Amino acid sequence: MIEPIQTLTLPQRVEWGAGAVTRVADAVTAVGAAHVFVVSDAAVAQAGHLERLLAVLPASTRATVYDRVEAEPTTEAVEQAADALGAADGVDALVSLGGGSVIDTAKNAGVLALNGGALRDYEDGADPARAISRVLPNIAVPTTAGTGSEATAWAVFVDPARRLKNAIYDPRLVPVAAILDPELTVSVPPDVTAGTGMDALTHAVEAFVSRLANPATDALALQAVSLAALHLRRAVDESADLEARAGMLLASFLAGAAFSNSSCGLVHTLSEALGGFYRLPHGVTNGVLLAPVMAFNAPSCAARYARLGTALTGVVGADAAEAVRSLAADIRLPRSLGELGVARADLPALTAGAFVWANDSGNPRDVTAEQIHELLEHAVDPRRERA
Ligand SMILES: [Fe+2]
């Protein structure tokens, strides 16, 4: 059988290691930008990272700063960023310095400012989808290790009016450069390190068992799993450990590249439904759901889980879902959705929202609405006996 043609879309330039933020200057020069729009948020500015980045830009480069990105950005927040970008004259590149919310806001604001319309015109599943004609080169500098947005073609947003989370997908949204500096992540507190780290691990696990996986995404995903297994506990427990922080940044990048070129699966489908409903931290809901969804998927991908079990533990034949469960416990992640305030009364609406996408995600096992409801019910209160 002749294999179909596959495409791997990755940033042109990836720099990592302590002090890599200085390489932003090379990346800006490489794209020939005279005026950059720097997207960031208050916490990143407060930590001094924004000042550090601005100091290393080439002297001839003009910078307009937008540092008002909010966590889990809404359509309105993206529109504000797009207005600021539109008002800045002659911008020829974006520099996004922050977590996934910042990098995604930069991508989405760029789409709106250059192409007009509203986010829902371009979102995944829009019918008819409006074409994106122009995208600005984006130099992404993550300050958390998790979303992998510096490697992906996805740009997520929350639409409060519809109580859903959706995203724009376009391979041109893959940043032109990813600058991975662990010194920018040492001030991330343990609970955020844990949540974002589980997001990276979820990307890697879901990409590895995706129906859209290929040998190239397998390589990215498997190495991301090994790095997360090796470094996540230490990044949480010893925040200043640069080796652990660098390992997690690389894991996050590789996992992002893996799922952007294959897909995520049921954990993300459920998490997006929860994120649209409650605006909960994405990585934390992924972390709570990952082991139960792996147990659900196991009949469809046992051989792949065996490989993941080995990557997670170093022990051949180890149970992958169990390894994830013990990792989540070690990094003190909440054990249930109930602890996060998810109410049983909302489960029918959440189930309906998730089911719309559930069998288009690339997840290895088909799922019914009843099975989604049961998974969520068990995740709200794992102590309840399954029916
Ligand atoms: Fe994610």
CA–centroid distance, residue 195 to ligand 1 (Å):
10
pLDDT at 368 over 70: yes
In whole numbers, what is the pLDDT of the chain averaged over residues? 96
Q: List, for residues 310-350, the tens digit of each pLDDT value.
A: 999 999 989 999 999 999 999 999 999 999 999 999 999 99
Q: At what angle do helices 320-330 and 302-313 cross, to 10 degrees?
A: 40
In degrees to the nearest 10, what's the CA dihedral of 170, 172, 173, 177? 150
Q: Hey, what are 27's tokens?
A: 């990346």
pLDDT at residue 386 in the model: 57
- Output the CA 86–ligand 1 centroid distance in Å: 29
Write out pLDDT tens, residues 154-181: 999 999 999 889 999 999 999 999 999 9
Q: What percent of the chain has pLDDT over 70?
A: 99
**pLDDT for residue 196:** 97
Q: How far apart are CA 137 and CA 28, in angstroms?
A: 9
pLDDT-derived band at 2 (thresholds 50, 70, 90) equals confident
pLDDT at 247 over 60: yes
Torsion of CA 376, 361, 76, 195, to 10 degrees: 60
Q: How far is the CA of 290 from the centre of ligand 1 (A)?
A: 11
Is 377's pLDDT higher than 60? yes
CA distances from 248 to 9, 123, 202, 204, 376 (A): 21, 29, 13, 12, 28
Question: How far does residue 224's CA lie from ligand 1's centre (Å)?
Answer: 14
Segment 115-141 shows an average pLDDT of 95
Q: What is the pLDDT of residue 163?
A: 87
d(CA 55, CA 58): 8
Tell me the DSSP string of 310-378.
HHHHSSTT--HHHHHHHHHHHTT--S-SGGGT--GGGHHHHHHHHHHHHTTS--SS---HHHHHHHHHH
CA 345 to centroid of ligand 1, rounded, Å: 25
| Whole-number Å distance between alpha carbons of 193 and 196 | 5
Cα 308 to its chain centre, rounded Å, is 20
Give the Å distance between the CA of 282 and the centre of ligand 1. Answer: 7
Evaluate whether 180 touches 15 at the Cβ level (below 8 Å).
Answer: yes
Question: 128: cis peptide before it, omega within 30°?
Answer: yes
Distance 283 CA to ligand 1 centre (A): 6
Confidence of residue 32 (pLDDT cuts 50, 70, 90): very high
User: What pLDDT, on a 0 to 100 scale, did the predictor assign at position 287?
Assistant: 97
pLDDT of residue 227: 98
pLDDT at 276: 87
Ligand 1 midpoint to CA 210 (Å): 14
**Ligand 1 center to residue 202 CA distance, Å?**
7
Tell whether the model's pLDDT for residue 138 goes beyond 70. yes
d(CA 72, CA 77): 9
**pLDDT reading at 4 higher than 90:** no
* 129 pLDDT higher than 70: yes
CB 151 within 8 A of CB 139: no
Alpha-carbon 134 to chain mean position: 23
Q: What would the DSSP string read from start to end of 65-90?
A: EE----SS-BHHHHHHHHHHHHHSTT
Report residue 165: phi and psi, to 5°: -115, 130
Q: How far is the CA of 199 from the centre of ligand 1 (A)?
A: 5
- Digit-coded pLDDT (tens) for 49-101: 999 999 999 999 999 999 999 999 999 999 999 999 999 999 999 999 999 99
**pLDDT band at residue 29 using 50, 70 and 90 as cut-offs:** very high
pLDDT at 303: 96
Half-sphere exposure of 355 (CA within 13 A, CB side): 16
